[in-house]
Chain A
Amino acid sequence: MIMMIALLSSTLLQAQTVKVEGTVGDAQGPLPGVSVLVKETSVGTISDANGHYKLDAAKNAVLVFTYIGYTAVEVPLASHTQKANGIYTVNVTLNNKENNLDEVVVVGFGTQKKVNLTGAVATVDAKVLENRPVRNATQALQGLVTGLNISQNNGSLESNPSINIRGTGTIGNSSSSPLIMVDGMEGSLNAINPQDIENISVLKDAAASAVYGSRAAFGVILITTKRGKAGKLSVNYNNNLRSAAPVLMPKMMDSYTFGLYFNDASQNGGSAPFFSPEHLQRIQDYQNGTINTSVIPNPNNKLYWADGYGYGNANVDWYQTMFRKKTLSQEHNFSLSGGSEKTQLYLSGNYMGQQGLMRFNKDDFTRYGATAKLNSKVTDALSVNYSTRFIREDYNRPSNLTNGFYQDLGRQGWPTLPLYDPNGYLFSSPSPALGMAEGGKDRNQTDYLYQQLQLVLEPVKGWKTFGEVNYRTRNDFRHWDVQRTYNHDVNGNPYVYNTNSEVYEYAYKENYFNANLYSEYNRSFAGKHFVKLMGGFQTEMTKYRNLSAQRNGIIVASIPTIATTSGTDANGVAVAPSVAGTYQRWATAGFFSRLNYDYDGKYLIEANIRYDGSSRYRAEQRWNLFPSISLGWNVAREKFFEDHVSFINNFKFRGSYGQLGNQKPADGSTDFYPTYVTMPVGTANGSWLINGTRPNTASAPGLISSTLTWETIKSYNLGLDWGVFNNRLTGSFDLFRRRTLNMVGPAPTLPSILGTSVPQTNNTDLQTTGFEMEVAWNDRLKNGLGYNLRLLLSDYQTTITRYPNETRNLSQYREGQKMGEIWGYTTRGVAKSQEEMDAYLATLPNGGQSPLGSQWGAGDVMYADLNGDGIINSGANTQDNPGDLRLIGNSTPRYTVGADINLDWKGFDFRAFFQGVMKRDYWQGSYFFWGATNNIWWSTGFVDHADYFRADANHPLGQNLNAYYPRPVFNSSKNQQTQSRYLLNAAYMRLKNLQLGYTLPQAITRKAAIQKLRVYFSGENLLTLTKMAKMFDPETVDGGSGGSVYPLSKVYSAGLSVTF
């Protein structure tokens, strides 16, 4: 193939050279810095400050004018006449891409002119994804499209952001995720080289996505990847070197403060202090450097160090200890594009190596990607397109880096717990570190191989038939081993801490097959009527299988493979290996058709219909029909507008209605057989041992509803697009309403005597409403400063409109309830003295605050008696009788905003991209928020928690009557009820990306045969504005375990991009 490219590029025509000059500009005037290149040569120049340029070219040459953000223009010299002085004058006006109404947008099974769109479709140009030091394209997309909600609530290397379009689609056991299509085939937005992406279309309403039927109930993201361009071979290399640091981490109390804090919590709960005076003294001595042993020998067994919780006196900040302050990563991309008019080729390669933040045992993520795409016009009537793409992802982590780690980091990471014993060995009793460091590795490798073949037949102009066969295989291999770990006794001799050692191997294969056959015909009549008809068939089949085995007894620690395990436990007793293997399948089939009609670009209409079948339901409920229609009226094309308000270039009203079905299982679920009853059986997994070994087990099957069927989604959209002042000011506004009907909702409550889970049925409706607005201003000043400002704002709210909860119980969904509602008590304040509390309780004659706890005193919360019944309680816990509970907030992210600012001037470019949520409440009642809770083993102490109520004027930490936190009390949750005072404000604004680049003048780079050379600096998450409690990141407060997560990263990166 390389040879072929070489041949193509060597067919340069040698001819006589002539002089060419002229001015380049856009609608506003001359443009400096425009690249003018003689096509298929390296000859070229750049326009000067006045937009003038001069160069020499062959008489039959074609000039290519390119400029960032503008559509390239090709001008053959042959179309101009030579002046008397022998000079060609070629003046060119470039069109800003952003403002270009002729722009074509990819839609389902075809394309559409942007100006003629009637559905709610947004597009993203690959440019905005460039040079973002992120792990995948999904992260880079966050905030770029109104209504496309992307949230990443965990920073660990394997966690991918969750995506939805226009908010919550379903609360049932099915997926709210959009369908992701890569070049017409279902794929992943995470497992793709972001640099291969040419553009992205987001289909938001049912009218736009109906053609995809049951897979597209909640919108579609269409990704089109780059293809080879006819012309001179172009080679691009770019890289990116990154340094990442945790963006936000909790800070732990010092050990002495922690000891006092826990003692106060014990004492307030009526128990003895946890840390004895002698123990506290040791803690202080260690902090002061008077002693340097972090723990004492066990008083009952002098051979060993004493338990780290009961006796440790170290001073460790476990967050600082477990995570590194800085890691380095890199990314390299290479691409090659070129070809003739008939055949084009695109090749690309990508390597990304990202280091994680774990200190004791590396975690890292690597992606390798390779793509080849060949487009060929075999005959005038037949084109063949073929592409193959291979992606490999390697993810390695310590076996102990599971969700339990985030949880344990707080509750086990007491500052007093020694990291190392006095001899310098990692010490566990237990501790987050030893198992992490020595407990084994977890390795994952995922390979994706995509093969796509497309035949396009166009026997007559305007009638195209597409035959597509897509095939994807995904192979996962996973290995983890659990290694025996050792503590060391007082004399430094190792002894086994965790006796268990085992190896687990897992293999998974997914075969996805998809065939599409569709045909379109378009024709215009009398120059005013334009008709396009499309119809076709689509089918998908996915087969999964997996195989796993796990066996105990690693013989040699450094060789953890199944073959090198003994199959015995720590005592040498044989343990049955655990082996599993399953098969699964699902399939869909659908017929679809679309009609487009427009009258002179003024009146637009589109209608879709799809008839879909899914293997998830039995024959009677299997097939479903989904219609949609959308209309548009471009007022700017009316004669009145064209004559009188010509500064308005585009003013289009849109309206749509569509109906879709949802049958997709929840993300990550493998429940492809919801209508079949199956027995839960387990092999050698019982925990009541029989003759020393695990027995097989079985349980009763769950109940299955016989009437399970599709969810129906009905979606309405009203929109307005505008372009004003020569399309410098553009924008759009959309209002939508989406109803999810007959949802497979959470099961209703039946009398407990049933004894098993109530089966889910189609019993629930919800409705999501919202709006999206986008405004952009795009201009260039006379001095050559180009600037572009884009503001995005969107919002949605979901309301439950039907749910089987007749009593309107607050612990379940209720009809009329908005999603995310937080019900809680209203805090009157924290009593500063026993007298204040007693006086308050005296106003509550019917039981005071006793339903919430006892022993009310100074430093406890006073809850407001909102229903005036003289007792603080939750009534019947129903909406009609909520006692003193009230709606105090809502956790739905409201008013999602994005602001994208771009500047360029004389080769410099600058970008600042902000993303944020303007309103969101969150109730995070975990011990990470509270510190000390009702259970000492589920408590922690961060510096923020030190601001707790202390009445004692002689307290070593000082009196604190105006504390934020009430007094801590072990053994009681009385102060930690859901309540107004401790509701968190999760609104934030974050500088997601800041980029500064410089493109070297071509006059210089051309000498090195370089078409373009850009160097840049790019930063992620550099600035966050929020009122969130300090131990949480507003983006991850709902993630991990109680808001404790692997932190997101602040990234500084630099790189270069060079095109030959």
Chain B
Amino acid sequence: MNFSRFSKLSAVVLGAVSLLTVSCKNYLDQPPLSSITPDAYLNEESQLGAYAVARYTDILPSHANWSFGTFGYDANTDDMAIPDLDNKYMPGLWRVGATGGDWDFSNIFQVNYFLQKTVPNLQNGRITGTSANIRHYVGEVYFLRAFEYFKKLQALGDFPILRNTLPDQQAALVAASKRSPMNEVARFIISDLDSAALLMQNVAPVGGTNRISKRVAQLLKSRVALYEGTWLKYFKGTAYVPKGPDWPGAGRPEGASYTFPSGSIDGEIDYFLTQAMESAKEVASAVPLVANTGIILSANNENPYFNMFSAEVMSSYSEVLLWRQYNKTLVTHNVPVNAQAGNYAVGLTRSLVESFLMANGLPIYASESGYKGDDYIADVRANRDGRLNLFLKEPGQKNVLLNLAQGSHATEIEPIPMVWESSYEKKYSTGYAIRKGLTYDAAHCGNGQGYTGSITFRAVEAYLNYMEACYEKTGSLDGDALSYWQQIRARAKVSTDVNSTIAATEMSKETADWGAYSANRLITPVLYNIRRERRNELMAEGLRFMDLKRWRAMDQMISTPYHVEGFKLWGPMKAWFTSSQLTYGANVNNAVVSDPALSSYIRPHEIRSNSNSYKGTRWAMAHYLNPIAAQHFVITATDGNATTSSIYQNPGWTTTAGSAPSGY
């Protein structure tokens, strides 16, 4: 072997290797080249706006495709019915989930990350951009946290209050999982809404009413405060309020020693109702109602009150405080198609239709009312509250006035209600269908290709919140309340003489309305008419179930089943249908409608005896709050024993997956 050659080569190899070793250190440092690190973000106005708006669709309600959008949210209440009755009305079928459910914090994490990062920077002025805009966007996120928390408050009541994101450590997370009393949650929401109102402007600087504003925060505050105030009032003395008998929170040290900030539950009720009135008035006194011309069919949509619910652009309607815009290419929904057809099987109930007054202000059963009966839908509409006349569809009416050739799924003429159909796309569940949300422009009627706007907040709710909060707090209506009421009735083309309505109201004839009850007792005619106004004005706007819960308006169905009904099928209107379209019989396999022996009104849940809903709509006390899924107890417990969890279950529910509530 040639040694010198060997050593020369070895030297070269060794040299190369050591060179490579040295250069490896930097060579292997490869940071991301086209990603943004957290330090570099949320430092500038537009970044705040982008973060905030990304949360909107996760948190706020708006139309989704292939449904009746927000107009269908009231399905499964006494207002509207779909063929499938929800399990919550059939005690025994609603069971504790294994995983998931409302005990979810993903939206809360998103907003808390933002607030924790930007609020200190806002105070230090470290964010670039126009101060007003920066403040507005931070305010939006406060608002969004409040809205998310309000959803939790309704679903679960007591709930953990989180102001920051948490570390991924078991002990810290278990400790943070403790539920705070519901009134504390409501106070936390109100404080967020106060922050939001303080930071935001009356109209968003960019995007107008497409974005959240101060007015929206004030409106939501009145809603939350009214919710908590009335809940505490009607559930007082039950396990459903903090410190009440058998309140599950009392089983935890922090619950046992809890004292109300105002000293007593009555103090809390008064506090919330006062807050509700104050914030409702701020909106109601500043935002005028949109005019109603009473015109139903007009190609040029001259009726703003009608058009407000289905306009492509809703900015011009003062009452619309926040709305979501759609676009034929970018984001679409199918509400226009379903509004022209059977409302995606979300049918208006007889109860809601009958709750509307006559135009003269009298209930339909009043001797002087002039009610023509309900043998035909035309009769039902005649001389009624202008809103029923406007929004209840009648066979033979035109649904399309513009661009018929553009809508393959348009329904040009309202047909007889297709009660015999089974698919939601075609079915009329109750025979009554609504016109709210309908556009006469068939350009929106490609299948799933509608792009009318979706209303998220409407100012008239503040008028109604004020009226109710005022009456619940003081037992009477003040001048503002009366004025708001009369403005609403005038716009609805109903006599503004509310006293004659109250005088003519017989509570024993209003029992089909769940809202006629609180805690299994009929309420006073004054309060009932306030609730009636709310029900009629906010028809199909997704607030009904929230109202029923806070009024504790389902107790009466614990012992007595309720029967949801629709139009009077088995009256003269049965002549509209062929006999096969009216196949009935509890044991008839292909029955499509309910048996006339049950009722001359169609009962959408009582067609065949093999359906769980055949025996009617019932209730269980435990159903006022949702159960927390079993897994959450196990993963916050020691040794997987749910009873050691830092979380407690809602009254009546157990911590075992698949179990139905007992005792409530």
Contacts and interface: CB of A to CB of B under 8 A. Distances in A.
A537 B328 contact: no
A753 B166 contact: yes
B47 A752 contact: no
Contact of A700 (B60, B109, B613): B109
Interface string B360-377: 000000000000000000
B20 A537 contact: yes
B324 interface: yes
Nearest to B449: A499
Interface in A577-594: 581-589, 591
Interface stretch (A632-640, A653-661, A873-881): A873-881
B31 A676 contact: yes
B168 A758 contact: yes
Nearest to B5: A459
A679 B33 contact: no
Nearest to A569: B329
A681 B36 contact: yes
B83 A271 contact: yes
Nearest to A274: B422
Interface residues of A, number: 114
A874 B415 contact: no
A854 interface: yes
Contacts of B210: 688-691
Contacts of A687: 57, 330-331
Nearest to A518: B13
A289 B221 CA distance: 66
A53 to B, nearest CB: 47
A784 interface: no
B448 to A, nearest CB: 9
Contacts of B41: 679, 681, 698
B50 interface: yes
B105 A271 contact: no
A614 B28 contact: yes
Contacts of A753: 105, 160, 162, 166, 173, 176-177
Nearest to A517: B16
B316 to A, nearest CB: 14
A301 interface: yes
Main secondary structure of the interface of B (DSSP, over half): loop
A678 B51 CA distance: 14
Contact of B325 (A677, A692, A876): A692
A698 B51 contact: yes
B70 to A, nearest CB: 14
A270 B109 CA distance: 42
Contacts of B176: 751, 753
B261 interface: no
A751 B425 contact: no
A750 B170 contact: yes
Contacts of A277: 580, 590
B446 A499 contact: yes
Interface residues of B, number: 127
Given A271-B83, A850-B92, A936-B423, A571 B17 contact: no
A70 interface: no
Interface string A204-222: 0000000000000000000
A278 B329 CA distance: 38
A846 to B, nearest CB: 11
B491 to A, nearest CB: 29
A849 to B, nearest CB: 11
B129 interface: no
B29 to A, nearest CB: 7
Nearest to A872: B658
Interface stretch (B110-118, B264-272, B381-389, B552-560): B110-118
B57 A672 contact: no
Nearest to A273: B590
B215 interface: no
B632 interface: yes
B30 interface: yes
Nearest to A677: B38
A566 to B, nearest CB: 11
Given A300-B415, A696-B46, A571 B9 contact: no
B420 to A, nearest CB: 7
A697 B405 CA distance: 37
Nearest to A696: B50
Contacts of A527: none
A727 interface: no
Nearest to A881: B640
A860 to B, nearest CB: 11
Residue among A539, A582, A698, A876 with max Cβ neighbours from chain B (10 Å): A698
B420 A276 contact: yes
Interface string B336-379: 00001100000000000000000000000000000000000000
A28 interface: no
A310 B426 contact: yes
A35 B79 CA distance: 92
Contact of A695 (B49, B92, B162, B400): B49
A959 interface: no
Given A585-B30, A679-B35, A751-B174, A874 B658 contact: yes
A755 B449 CA distance: 34
A759 B93 CA distance: 37
A272 B31 contact: no
Interface string B386-417: 00000000000000100011111111110100
Interface string B597-637: 00000000001101111100000000000000011101110
Contacts of A460: 1-2, 5-6
B264 to A, nearest CB: 30
A703 interface: yes
A755 B166 contact: yes
B110 A272 contact: no
Given A496-B446, A874-B658, A971-B84, A587 B30 contact: yes
B576 interface: no
B590 A877 contact: no
Nearest to A758: B168
A754 B109 contact: yes
A169 to B, nearest CB: 24
B189 to A, nearest CB: 17
Contacts of A378: none
A457 to B, nearest CB: 8
Nearest to B107: A755
Given A678-B37, A698-B51, A703-B168, A519 B13 contact: yes
A270 B608 CA distance: 6
Contact of A689 (B1, B107, B324): B324
Given A499-B449, A855-B611, A688 B56 contact: yes
Nearest to B588: A267
Contacts of A532: none
Nearest to B165: A755
B54 interface: yes
A645 B9 CA distance: 49
Interface in B147-188: 160, 162, 165-166, 168, 170, 173-174, 176-177
A984 to B, nearest CB: 25
A333 interface: no
A569 B400 CA distance: 24
Interface stretch (B96-104, B238-246, B301-309): B96-104
A749 interface: yes
A698 B46 CA distance: 10
Interface in B492-539: none
A430 B56 contact: no
Contact of B408 (A459, A495, A539, A583): A495
Given A700-B114, A874-B98, 5 more contacts: A517-B16, A689-B210, A690-B53, A750-B170, A851-B95
10 contacts: A495-B408, A582-B35, A586-B30, A679-B37, A695-B50, A700-B114, A751-B173, A752-B104, A754-B168, A755-B105
